[in-house]
């Protein structure tokens, strides 16, 4: 008997108990859909990381050695002495450095709809497009070189929505310090969309921080030299500074995403195990109900391996049907998630990728195979005389 005939028998076996089969498949759909939705969050962040981080920000970021480098901008505590700026500038010609730009950071909430981040640069010799070349002004104007001590701000579109700011409004950062919004950025994607940009000296005064920066941004004449230049800076300033490239930042963030994926998959695994047990229970009950049928099949010449394959195939079909349904329902779930957070963040945080679809199909296949092994083993070992004599 060929595979097509075997598949037909398996489908007939499942259709004899349609309600039980349908409920089992629904259980697998829920399990696979939850896995797809959970893991799609990691896929969304990973795609956003690949599309955006490599196109924005400095070629090299320099922070104090031993400080927290697990975020895009480093430690939020200003701890890098400004004196290192002049020391790095002495290496401009030797290392092909175009700009050395100290920056200040402070956060209000988080990079989501519940908060925004404030970044400050010295605009006497820096334009925002020097650091973020993809940034575009939507309305108003940029901060001028003469406004190093002025209380002015350029605001990202998402940050403006979060902080409820419009052109000409005032952003209050302390009891006495209020910054006038002079420019609004075009809606974009990524971190800069949720950022508010201020003059470096003004924010230093507001935070009562003198002579310190959160980090130092370095732009190179040739971005391809970033890795080699970062290594030289680490050697020259060993124990004082730590330089990292965009690639280093991407690796750190990708590692964090991978850890999140493992955690989310662990949660999904509970539902998958429950779904697998449901499949095994359904198939095992079918084996007991069809004992005489299997006895007849054996009596007319079918080998134990045929019965084994038939039962495993029934289990596999239920798992695959549930897997396909789970992928579809999970995809609908990611659409709902992205729609729900569309006004809160500027990226699609959930993405169903081919890799995720392949994983879901693979998990469903393994689930079906494992769930059917014990019932198939039981069915293939039935004694013909006992099976035929059973009521």
pTM: 0.61
Residues 6+ apart with CB under 8 A from 86: none
d(CA 386, CA 291): 9
| Backbone phi, psi, residue 118, to 5° | -110, 125
Which of these, 390, 303, 289, lies nearest to 20 by C-alpha position?
A: 289
Cβ(312)–Cβ(376) below 8 Å? yes
> Residue 148 pLDDT > 90, yes or no?
no
Query: Residue ranges per domain, the chain?
Result: 3-51+253-388, 66-238
Find the range with the poorest average confidence among 28-32, 43-47, 216-220, 296-300. 43-47
Q: Cα dist. 357→45, 122, 326 in Å?
A: 17, 47, 10
Q: For 262-285, how does the pLDDT look when each residue is reduced to its tens digit (9 = 90+)?
A: 777 777 788 788 888 888 888 888
Cα–Cα distance between 59 and 218 in angstroms, integer? 6
Q: What's the pLDDT at 117?
A: 84
Q: Is the pLDDT of residue 75 over 60?
A: no
- Could you give the CA distance from residue 75 to residue 214 in angstroms, rounded to a whole number? 7
pLDDT in tens, 167-192: 999 998 888 889 999 999 998 766 77
The residue ranking higher by pLDDT, 366 or 391, is: 366
């Amino acid at each position: 008997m060929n595979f097509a005939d075997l598949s037909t028998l398996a489908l007939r076996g499942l259709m004899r108990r349609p309600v039980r089969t349908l409920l089992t498949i629904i259980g697998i759909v829920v399990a696979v859909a939850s896995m797809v939705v959970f893991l799609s969050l990691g896929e969304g962040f990973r795609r956003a990381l690949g599309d955006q981080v490599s196109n924005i920000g400095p070629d090299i970021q320099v922070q104090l050695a031993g400080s927290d480098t697990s975020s895009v901008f480093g430690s939020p505590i200003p701890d890098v002495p400004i004196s290192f700026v002049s020391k790095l500038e002495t290496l401009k010609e030797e290392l092909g450095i175009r700009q050395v730009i100290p920056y200040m950071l402070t956060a209000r909430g988080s990079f989501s709809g519940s908060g925004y981040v404030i970044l400050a640069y010295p605009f006497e010799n820096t334009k925002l497009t020097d650091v973020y070349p993809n940034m575009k002004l939507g309305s108003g104007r940029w901060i001028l070189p003469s406004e190093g001590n002025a209380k002015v701000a350029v605001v990202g579109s998402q940050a403006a929505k979060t902080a409820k700011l419009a052109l000409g409004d005032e952003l209050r950062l302390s009891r006495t310090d209020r910054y006038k919004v002079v420019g609004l950025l075009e809606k974009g994607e990524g971190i800069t969309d949720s950022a508010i940009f201020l003059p470096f000296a003004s924010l230093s005064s507001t935070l009562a921080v003198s002579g310190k920066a959160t980090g130092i941004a370095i732009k190179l004449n040739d971005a391809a030299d970033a890795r080699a230049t970062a290594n030289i800076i680490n050697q020259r300033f060993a124990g004082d500074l730590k330089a990292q490239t965009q690639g280093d930042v991407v690796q750190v963030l990708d590692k964090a995403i991978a850890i999140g994926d493992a955690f989310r998959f662990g949660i999904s695994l509970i539902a998958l195990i429950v779904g697998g047990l449901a499949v095994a229970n359904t198939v095992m009950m079918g084996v007991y109900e069809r004992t005489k049928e299997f006895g007849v099949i054996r009596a007319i010449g079918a080998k134990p391996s045929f019965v084994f394959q038939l039962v495993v195939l029934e289990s596999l079909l239920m798992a695959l049907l549930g897997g396909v349904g789970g992928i579809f329902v999970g995809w609908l779930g990611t659409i709902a998630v992205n729609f729900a957070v569309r006004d809160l963040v500027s990226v699609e945080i959930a993405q169903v990728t081919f890799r995720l679809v392949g994983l879901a199909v693979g998990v469903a296949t393994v689930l079906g195979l494992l769930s059917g092994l014990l019932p198939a083993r039981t069915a293939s070992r039935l004694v013909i005389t006992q099976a035929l004599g059973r009521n």
